[in-house]
Amino acid sequence: MQKINVGVVGTGFIGPAHIEALRRLPNTNVVALCEVTIELARQKADQLGIERACTFDELLKMDDIKVVHICTPNFLHYAQSKAALEAGKHVVCEKPLAKDLHEAEELVELAKKTGLVNAVHFNLRYYPLVRQMKVMREQDNLGEVYSVIGSYLQDWLFYETDYNWRLEPDKSGDSRAIADIGSHLMDSLEYITGLKTVAVLADFNTIHKFRKKPLKPVETYSGKMLKPEDYADVPINTEDHANVLLRFDNGNKGVITVSQVSAGRKNQMKLEIAGSKKTFAWNSEAPNQMWIGNRDGSNESFLRDPSLAHPDARSVMSFPGGHNEGFPDTSKQLFKEVYDAIAAGKQPEKPTFPTFADGYRELLICEKILESNRKQAWVEI
């Protein structure tokens, strides 16, 4: 089997998650890694057992590297994805795809023009029961979607001393919680229901109006504490928490809540989708089961089990029922489909994986949610 050589850019929280997932696939070889400095790249490459440490420009000149994974802070996604496509590399980019719609639009056009494989890491779609819900909806098991309740709750930014580049608009964009995790929620919600959100009414809240910025580097989720003099007080104007009312193209409605300051909720995405036949309920912190609600009979608990699931959902499962799969497996399953396309050498007509176009869609929704919060009024999409 021809191994596909891969380069990864950025090794914060998610970069190593990409590397681990790629190493679980038979046809990939992570051979190069870039970081902000060559010294840091060398240090990380040694830690992660990767052969080459290089700068981004050097990576693009390596002919044997066919794919680049962009795992850097949001403000770098546009320039690095553009340069990689122009260098003839297939690209897997972290979400959000870019900092604004213009950047995303240009990337979608460039990807189309090159025909290269382009994907966005909306990995939460690849929890097998998320796909099972999508297929059951397509097979009309759910009926018409009446309403949707969604939430994505975390607590890694709970304290005013919890700090990260995502808090800085010049690095993260004007939205934080909605762009960072709301994008996953909206992507999964539209993916499962097949609905398009046509209008939003948003209300943001910033709990910590000031945060204590560490004067020394601290990594995502580390929650490490420094001495008081090691912090600088900085004003925060991005949202810790947001509520958004949704209107869908079938005339029905929904609501989502995202928060990065919900004590005890580590990384919980929840969906409750009520239909004219049944209700589906699912929770990413217990991803191997889903609840199916019935009006005229007992409710059901559906377990992730290849022998019970639809073939499309079975295709993103690697272990039998009861052998639970989780967050790390979602990236592996996404990359499996992306690298099948890369092995075929071009973007498929109907990709089963999230593409730059899906990245554009999430940015569009994010921008409309931001506008609605600013205007404190409904905004159409």
- Among 59-67, 140-148, 180-188, 360-368, the segment contacting ligand SOE (CB under 6 A): 180-188
Query: How many angstroms separate the CA atoms of 276 and 87, rounded?
Result: 49
Q: Does 337 bind ligand SOE (CB under 6 A)?
A: no
Query: How many angstroms separate the CA atoms of 284 and 306, rounded?
Result: 18
Query: How many angstroms separate the CA atoms of 319 and 307, rounded?
Result: 10
- Residue of 267, 283, 315, 352 that binds ligand SOE (CB under 6 A): 267
Instruction: Give the nearer residue to ligand SOE in terms of CB position, either 163 or 248.
Output: 163
Q: Does 181 bind ligand SOE (CB under 6 A)?
A: yes
Instruction: Give the nearer residue to ligand SOE in terms of CB position, either 176 or 247.
Output: 176
3-state secondary structure of 121: coil
Query: How many angstroms separate the CA atoms of 113 and 115, rounded?
Result: 6
Site for ligand SOE in 206-245 (CB under 6 A): 220
Q: Does 180 bind ligand SOE (CB under 6 A)?
A: yes
DSSP 220: T
Q: How many residues make up the chain in this entry? A: 381
Query: How many angstroms separate the CA atoms of 280 and 350, rounded?
Result: 26
- Residue of 5, 13, 27, 226 that binds ligand SOE (CB under 6 A): 13
DSSP 159: S
Q: Does 358 bind ligand SOE (CB under 6 A)?
A: no
- Among 134-142, 176-184, 225-233, 317-325, the segment contacting ligand SOE (CB under 6 A): 176-184
Q: How many residues make contact with ligand SOE (CB under 6 A)? A: 8
Kindly report the backbone phi and psi dihedral angles of residue 37, in degrees, each rounded to the nearest multiple of 5, phi listed first: -125, 155
Any idea of the CA torsion for 196, 202, 207, 210, to the nearest 10 degrees? 100
Instruction: Give the nearer residue to ligand SOE in terms of CB position, either 142 or 369.
Output: 369
The nearest distance, CB 253 to ligand SOE, in angstroms, is 26
> Using CB under 6 A as the criterion, which residues of the chain lie in contact with ligand SOE when the complex forms?
13-14, 154, 180-181, 184, 220, 267
